[in-house]
């Protein structure tokens, strides 16, 4: 079971940051009306406003580099907590920015997962 | 409700790191048999082994400095996700270490909370 949690977490992380870096608008499909995003201290609720926030971030193309992925089963059956550290390279910036981010993934009826909780912080040096 | 989540999260963070820095053995009271700790990639389950792990960390006295605290309601009624970034000063080290950590807090019958999920990572520069 623990292995399955880790497999889902790693697949999610790869999928999420690939979408973020290549087609940010498609991230909307990972959120639902109940979803909550905290982005650098700002709280946004529901998939559509979250999608809008992610699209309006003050940088265009970027690339995430993942350093660590931790995962644990959460409380509701099948739900998973994912915790990521890494760095974020903006296209116009020489130095990557360190970040950490957590997600709570909830299983859907069709066998996939959606993001219920998403908290993102840059880790300033 | 959102405010109540933030109040609990901030009180928990103050309590947790005060205990960690002054009386680490007493942290055991915050965990239960179902609790899971991921500490720098190592997974430990149940309050007693978690307490043992925290007591055996390869540093004695330390002091946490908190930079940011984010909180969100989680899925089970009254449960809270807390996300912390900060730095950790070891007594024998000149430079503090950056860290990030998340907790899922679950309400208990007596009106307090226990830590169900705890994930800790140092953020190496």
Q: A19: closest CA among A30, A7, A10, A8?
A: A30
**Is B75–A76 a contact, with Cβ atoms under 8 angstroms apart?**
yes
Q: How many structural domains does chain A have?
A: 1
Rounded to the nearest 10°, the torsion over CA A15, A21, A27, A31 is 70
Question: pLDDT for A55-114, tens place per residue?
Answer: 988 888 899 999 999 999 999 999 999 999 999 999 888 899 999 999 999 999 999 999
Q: Please give the pLDDT value at position A2.
A: 54
> With an 8 Å Cβ cutoff, is B83 touching chain A?
yes
Residues of chain B with confidence (pLDDT) below 70:
1-2, 125
Q: Which residue range forms the structural domain that includes residue B63?
A: 4-122
Q: Can you give the CATH number for the domain in which B88 is found?
A: 3.10.450.50
Question: pLDDT for A22-50, tens place per residue?
Answer: 999 899 999 999 999 999 999 999 999 99
> With an 8 Å Cβ cutoff, is B119 touching chain A?
yes
Contact B47, B116 (CB under 8 A): no
Token pair for A1: 């079971």
The ipTM estimated for the assembled molecules is 0.94
Exposure of A47 in the CB half-sphere (CA atoms within 13 A): 11
Question: pLDDT for A90-101, tens place per residue?
Answer: 988 889 999 999
**Is A73–B106 a contact, with Cβ atoms under 8 angstroms apart?**
no
DSSP B67: E
- Residue window 15-74, chain B: list those with CB within 8 Å of chain A: 36, 38, 41, 43, 67-68, 70, 72-74
How far is A46 from A56, CA to CA, in rounded Å?
16
How far is A93 from A68, CA to CA, in rounded Å?
23
Residue indicated by tokens 């130095």: A95
> With an 8 Å Cβ cutoff, is A10 touching chain B?
no
Residue indicated by tokens 């699209």: A55
């Amino acid at each position: 079971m623990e292995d399955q949690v880790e497999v889902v977490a790693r697949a999610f992380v790869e999928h999420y940051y690939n979408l973020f870096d290549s087609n940010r608008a498609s991230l909307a499909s990972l959120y639902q009306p109940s979803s909550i995003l905290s982005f650098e201290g700002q709280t946004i609720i529901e998939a559509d406003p979250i999608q809008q926030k992610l699209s309006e971030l003050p940088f265009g193309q970027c690339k995430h580099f993942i350093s660590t992925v931790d995962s644990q089963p959460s409380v509701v059956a099948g739900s998973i907590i994912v915790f990521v550290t890494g760095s974020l390279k903006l296209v116009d910036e020489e130095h990557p920015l360190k970040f950490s981010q957590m997600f709570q993934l909830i299983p859907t009826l069709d066998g996939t997962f959606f993001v219920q909780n998403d908290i993102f912080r840059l880790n300033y040096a």
